[in-house]
């Protein structure tokens, strides 16, 4: 039977027969034997390669910024469902775009607990990361075989691949809500895993991991010495994004050091919850904080504009609810999106479901209209917009207004000005929002003020770009309101960023 990739997944349930289940069991047993999976209790491997910053591209829908990974090491302990990974990146060689380029990253997961190490080497709870990290254990080379055998629901299909002109055996199974598929080569080694993971921006987002260059690593086990991963394939966004690529130089199985103890502060960390704390900044202007990403609500005569719909449905719905509490009986007509990075974009679907028009840079138009706001498969994590009938009526029907240099929202009571930020390496579509009456400037990812009168540890290039844009646009700013962090006065900004901007101003064109 020749069936093309894509159609098979929709019809696979109808294809299960006792014979196919038997066939799946024998393929899995052969793979288990070839890879030594059942005998692998833990694995430790190391190497080097490339890593990317998901959802942090410079161009909307562009490739994710890449950084050379000068070292990578990981351990997985299957019994305790725990894993650790540690990598160093060459920060100076990171491509433009977003993402925190820390020289060294150490991530952990153990069951429902996830954490990393902060700059001081102390454990920092990351409860929202546990699900993905556990999932990566499930789709690791030996983890896949263990999970497929344990599932009891594995099926096998012949799948024809145009690019190979070849028919390949594909094992599929479900683990909880996840559908996972794997392909095997003639030696019964797992060569490719394709699965889906929920993303607030992309919906059911494909994850693809290729395992090649299998070698004996002792104990009757083999391990792939080349691991290459993609994320972000989408029916309307052909071609996924490179995620990471690791050339393994050393791998060992059944290593005692793989067992991990959950630190006390991680075990006792509160469950993740959406917290909103608002404060009035000026007449008709409210800061909606309480989390890692803020919003700002601006009141007009007949409606409200909300600046930023960050993270996901939960965060943005909470910001919307707070806005209605602060400004009752007025619709949220506009939601301003500062730029396309996924942590700032994940709530625009909730904003559309609320009935708002999204206002963004014109560079975002195609990606937002054709992918983010288009009807998407969202079976893994349905959101507010996916429940609306109009979400299934096709691209172009949703409210999106874009601009190139500047735009104004307002009436006789108040004005909100939006300006494109020039000269930025963080994102090509960045805007800042300015309120001339209250002299408030709202920025994302450019400048987070220190406590009043304080200093920043270092002044980044984004703050200098903000400084130059304020001068270029001749904005009379009194207060900076960041999407990350707390408001601060312009006097501090001038004192802290001014001298750095003066030193770094390019010669010749006057900056
Ligand atoms: Zn950003």
Per-chain residues with Cβ under 5 A from ion ligand 1: 98, 341, 445
Residues 291 and 256 in one domain: no
Residues 104 and 209 in one domain: yes
Residues 285 and 259 in one domain: no
Provide the pLDDT for residue 239. 60
Residues 131 and 175 in one domain: yes
Provide the pLDDT for residue 404. 97
Residues 458 and 329 in one domain: yes
Q: Is residue 272 part of a domain?
A: no
Separation of CA 81 and ligand 1 centre (Å):
32
Residues 151 and 214 in one domain: yes
Q: Which of 266, 291, 314 is the last residue of a domain?
A: 266
Provide the pLDDT for residue 506. 58
Separation of CA 12 and ligand 1 centre (Å):
40
Q: What CATH code is carried by the domain that includes residue 344?
A: 3.60.15.10
Q: Which of 235, 266, 297 is the last residue of a domain?
A: 266
Q: Is residue 243 part of a domain?
A: yes
Separation of CA 32 and ligand 1 centre (Å):
43
Q: Is residue 112 part of a domain?
A: yes
For 43-94, give the DSSP string: EEEEEEEEEE-TT--SSTT-PPPEEEEEEEEEEEETTTTEEEEEEEE-GGGP
β-pair type (357-361, 332-336): parallel
Q: What CATH code is carried by the domain that includes residue 93?
A: 2.50.20.10
Least Cα distance to 345 among 95, 101, 60 occurs for 60
Separation of CA 129 and ligand 1 centre (Å):
19
From edge to edge, which strands make up the β-sheet containing 357-361? 277-282, 285-289, 295-299, 304-307, 332-336, 357-361, 400-403
Residue 413 phi, psi dihedral angles, 5° rounding: -85, -35
Q: Is residue 462 part of a domain?
A: yes
For 148-206, give the DSSP string: HHHHS--EEEEEEETTTTEEEEEEEEEETTEEEEEEE-TTS-EEEEEEEEEETTTEEEE
Q: Is residue 66 part of a domain?
A: yes
Cα 460–chain centre separation = 22
Residues 262 and 300 in one domain: no
Separation of CA 427 and ligand 1 centre (Å):
7
Separation of CA 343 and ligand 1 centre (Å):
7
Q: Is residue 510 part of a domain?
A: no
Q: Is residue 483 part of a domain?
A: yes
Per-residue pLDDT of the chain (511 residues; tens, 9 = 90+): 333 333 333 334 445 566 677 799 999 999 999 999 999 999 999 999 999 999 999 999 899 999 999 999 999 999 999 999 999 999 999 999 999 878 999 999 999 999 999 989 999 999 999 999 999 999 999 999 999 999 999 999 988 877 778 888 899 999 999 999 999 999 999 999 999 999 999 999 999 999 999 999 998 999 999 999 998 865 555 567 899 999 999 999 999 877 899 999 999 998 888 999 999 999 999 999 999 999 999 999 999 999 999 999 999 999 999 999 999 999 999 999 999 999 999 999 999 999 999 999 999 999 998 889 888 889 999 999 988 755 544 444 568 999 999 999 999 999 999 999 999 999 999 999 999 999 999 999 999 999 989 999 899 999 999 999 999 999 999 999 999 999 999 999 999 999 999 998 654 443 3
Residue 360: CB atoms within 10 A of its CB come to 26
Separation of CA 147 and ligand 1 centre (Å):
36
Residues 80 and 203 in one domain: yes
Residues 346 and 381 in one domain: yes
Q: Which of 207, 239, 266 is the last residue of a domain?
A: 266
Q: Is residue 334 part of a domain?
A: yes
Separation of CA 456 and ligand 1 centre (Å):
19
Based on the structure, what is the number of domains in the chain? 2
Residues 258 and 284 in one domain: no
Residues 139 and 242 in one domain: yes
> Rounded to an integer, what distance in angstroms lies between the CA atom of residue 480 and that of residue 489?
6
> Rounded to an integer, what distance in angstroms lies between the CA atom of residue 191 and that of residue 477?
56
Q: Which domain holds residue 130?
A: 7-266
Residues 402 and 464 in one domain: yes
């Amino acid at each position: 039977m020749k069936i093309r990739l894509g159609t098979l997944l929709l019809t696979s349930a109808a294809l299960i027969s006792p014979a196919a289940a038997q066939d799946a069991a024998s393929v899995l047993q052969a793979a288990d034997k070839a890879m030594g999976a059942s005998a692998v209790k833990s694995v430790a491997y190391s190497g080097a390669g490339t890593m990317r910053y998901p959802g942090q591209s410079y161009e909307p829908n562009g490739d994710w910024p890449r950084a050379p990974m000068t070292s990578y090491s990981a351990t997985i302990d299957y019994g305790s469902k725990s894993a650790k990974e540690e990598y160093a990146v060459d920060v100076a060689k990171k491509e433009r775009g977003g993402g925190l380029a820390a020289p060294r990253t150490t991530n952990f997961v153990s069951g429902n607990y996830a954490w990393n190490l902060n700059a001081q080497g102390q454990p920092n709870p990351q409860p929202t990361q546990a699900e993905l990290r556990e999932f990566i254990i499930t789709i690791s080379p030996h983890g896949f075989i263990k999970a497929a055998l344990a599932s009891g629901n594995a099926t096998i299909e012949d799948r024809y691949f145009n690019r190979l002109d070849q028919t390949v055996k594909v094992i599929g199974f479900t683990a909880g809500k996840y559908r996972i598929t794997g392909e095997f080569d003639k030696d019964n080694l797992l060569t490719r895993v394709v699965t889906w993971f929920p993303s607030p921006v992309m919906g059911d987002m494909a994850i693809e991991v290729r395992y090649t260059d299998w070698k004996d690593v002792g104990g009757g086990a083999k391990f792939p010495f080349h691991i290459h991963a993609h994320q972000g394939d989408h029916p309307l966004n052909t071609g996924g994004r490179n995620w990471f690529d690791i050339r393994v130089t050393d791998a060992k199985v059944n290593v005692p050091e793989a067992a991990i103890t959950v630190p006390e502060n991680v075990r006792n960390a509160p469950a993740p919850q959406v917290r909103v704390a608002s404060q009035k900044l000026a007449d008709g202007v409210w800061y909606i904080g309480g989390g890692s990403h803020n919003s700002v609500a601006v009141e007009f005569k007949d409606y409200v504009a909300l600046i930023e719909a960050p993270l996901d449905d939960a965060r943005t719905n909470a910001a919307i609810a707070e806005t209605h509490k602060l400004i009752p009986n007025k619709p949220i007509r506009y939601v301003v999106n500062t730029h396309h990075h996924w942590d700032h974009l994940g709530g625009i679907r909730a904003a559309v479901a609320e009935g708002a028009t999204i206002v963004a840079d014109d560079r975002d138009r195609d990606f937002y209209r054709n992918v983010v706001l288009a009807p998407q498969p969202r079976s893994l994590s349905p959101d507010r917009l996916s429940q609306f009938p109009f979400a299934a009526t096709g691209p172009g029907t949703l409210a999106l207004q874009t601009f190139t240099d500047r735009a104004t929202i307002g009436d006789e009571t108040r004005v909100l000005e939006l300006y494109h930020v020039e000269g930025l390496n963080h994102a090509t579509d960045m805007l800042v929002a300015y309120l001339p009456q209250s002299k408030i400037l709202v920025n994302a990812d450019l400048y987070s003020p220190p406590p009043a009168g304080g200093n920043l540890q270092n002044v980044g290039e984004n703050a200098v770009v903000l400084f130059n844009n304020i001068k270029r646009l001749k904005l009379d700013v009194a207060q900076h309101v960041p999407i990350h962090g707390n408001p601060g006065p312009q006097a501090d900004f001038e004192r802290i960023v001014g001298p750095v901007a003066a030193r770094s101003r390019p010669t010749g064109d006057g900056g």
